[in-house]
């Protein structure tokens, strides 16, 4: 192990516990975490990432295309077949280098190939470093919705190299901030007033605590999806993480930011929080330069239909909403209330 000092956060899962390593140059530690019996490493990335890692053993790079549409079963099949041609065995390792699209898809491939091979995540985006690469949720999309096919498969380490964030386009960095912003309402005090590295470490520590207590997404881990019910509906409708529909083009984190504001408006409409708490949501979202209102042209009836397909929607419309005890799961919300709050979230404040 290198003598360089990094922030270390443990995801405590018994004999499957692992570290999240945070700091500049963390990607250089890949070879320290390659399993001793591994002879080959499959490095899954995208051509536009431009981040190289050296596993210290025979390796080959396998490239995914760009965009959320690449998180598909066809990509999973292609990668698995390419792994066979490479000679990857169950004793070897998959190394995911990229953002959430890469770590989600490569993680599911690692969980499926030979019924599970070792996985190392090297997230290269802010969104990946604070959320997507940590916790073992891997999945791909169907045309009917996001992340509907997947598995829980924990990595052996997550290497969050903050140095690579300096190469991100400003909009990509802002998108990651949208995913990070939710932690301001889940227990990280004054998040928007910390340095970037402090924000990452604080968010990772909170997520690690939640995952350690609730690995398989019971009620507690579900809180990490705060703001995502609307965000996933916007993505499924084609307004996010793609070429954009009807002239509307949102990144995932931008959709989450709008989802946070919407959740606050719905909570206020239902009498759970006061106006000051609503405005705190706007303050956090705006501090990162993120959108804080639904774009014009959204069909609210379509969005409600898609929100009914959300994984949480097992008992009618289900939302994560702020309240006197913090963010909680609220089930069975009336459609008329959901629509009323959509109107409120569409109006600028």
The confidence score (pLDDT) of residue 41 equals: 98
Annotated catalytic residue within 71, 146, 207, 281:
207
The confidence score (pLDDT) of residue 312 equals: 60
Q: What is the DSSP string of 173-198?
A: HHHHHHHHHGGGGTT-TTGGGS-HHH
Tell me the two tokens of residue 257: 């930011």
The confidence score (pLDDT) of residue 1 equals: 45
The confidence score (pLDDT) of residue 146 equals: 81
Active site residue 217: yes
Annotated catalytic residue within 137, 146, 268, 312:
137
Question: Residue 347: CB partners within 8 Å, gap ≥ 6?
Answer: 293
Q: With 90 as the cut, is the pLDDT of residue 265 above it? A: yes
Annotated catalytic residue within 70, 217, 235, 254:
217
Contact (CB, 8 A) for 97 and 124: yes
Annotated catalytic residue within 27, 146, 174, 228:
228
CA-based radius of gyration for the chain: 20
Tell me the two tokens of residue 178: 């949208």
Active site residue 225: yes
Over pLDDT 70: what percentage of the chain? 97
Active site residue 228: yes
Active site residue 179: yes
Active site residue 281: no
Q: What is the pLDDT of residues 35-56, one digit of tens each?
A: 999 999 999 999 999 999 999 9
Active site residue 221: yes
Q: What is the pLDDT of residues 60-113, one digit of tens each?
A: 999 999 988 999 999 999 999 999 999 999 999 999 999 999 999 999 999 999
d(CA 324, CA 243): 40
Count the alpha carbons within 13 Å of 28 in the hemisphere toward its beta carbon: 11
Annotated catalytic residue within 27, 146, 182, 221:
221
Which domains does the chain show, CATH number per domain? 7-168 (3.40.50.1970), 179-193+206-346 (1.20.1090.10)
Annotated catalytic residue within 179, 215, 235, 254:
179
Torsion (CA) 219, 255, 95, 121 in degrees, nearest 10 = -50
Annotated catalytic residue within 71, 146, 232, 251:
232
Annotated catalytic residue within 146, 182, 251, 252:
252
Active site residue 115: yes
The confidence score (pLDDT) of residue 2 equals: 47
**What pTM, to 2 d.p., does this model score?**
0.87
Helix (H) or strand (E) holding 75: helix 73-86
Q: With 80 as the cut, is the pLDDT of residue 315 above it? A: no
Active site residue 114: no
Annotated catalytic residue within 215, 225, 254, 312:
225
């Amino acid at each position: 192990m290198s003598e360089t000092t990094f922030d270390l956060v443990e995801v405590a899962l018994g004999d499957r516990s692992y570290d999240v390593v945070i700091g500049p140059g963390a990607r250089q530690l890949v070879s320290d975490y390659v399993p001793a019996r591994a002879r080959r490493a499959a490095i899954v990335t995208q051509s536009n990432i431009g981040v190289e890692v050296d596993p210290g053993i025979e390796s080959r790079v396998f490239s995914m295309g760009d965009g959320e549409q690449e998180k598909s079963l066809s990509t999973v099949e292609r990668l698995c077949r390419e792994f066979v041609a490479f000679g990857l065995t169950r004793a070897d390792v998959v190394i995911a280098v990229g953002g959430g699209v890469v770590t989600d898809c490569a993680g599911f491939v690692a969980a499926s190939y030979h019924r599970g091979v070792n996985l190392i995540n090297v997230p290269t985006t802010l969104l990946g470093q604070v959320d997507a690469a940590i916790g073992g949720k891997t999945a791909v999309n169907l045309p009917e919705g996001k992340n509907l096919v997947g598995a829980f498969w924990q990595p052996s380490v997550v290497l969050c190299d903050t140095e690579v964030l300096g190469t991100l386009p400003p909009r990509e960095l802002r998108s990651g901030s949208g995913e990070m912003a939710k932690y301001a309402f889940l227990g990280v005090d004054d998040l928007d007033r910390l340095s970037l590295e402090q924000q990452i470490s604080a968010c990772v520590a909170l997520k690690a605590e939640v995952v350690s207590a609730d690995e398989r997404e019971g009620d507690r881990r579900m809180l990490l999806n705060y703001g995502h019910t609307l965000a996933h509906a916007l993505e499924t409708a084609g307004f996010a993480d793609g070429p954009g529909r009807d002239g509307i083009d949102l990144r995932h984190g931008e959709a989450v930011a709008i989802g946070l504001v919407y959740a606050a408006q719905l909570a206020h409409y239902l009498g759970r929080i006061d106006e000051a708490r609503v405005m705190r949501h706007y303050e956090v979202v705006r501090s990162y330069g993120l959108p804080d209102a639904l774009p014009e042209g959204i069909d609210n009836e379509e969005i409600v239909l898609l929100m009914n397909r959300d994984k949480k929607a097992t008992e009618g419309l289900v939302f994560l909403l702020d309240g006197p005890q913090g963010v909680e799961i609220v089930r069975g919300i009336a459609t008329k209330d959901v629509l009323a709050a959509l109107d409120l979230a569409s109006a600028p404040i």
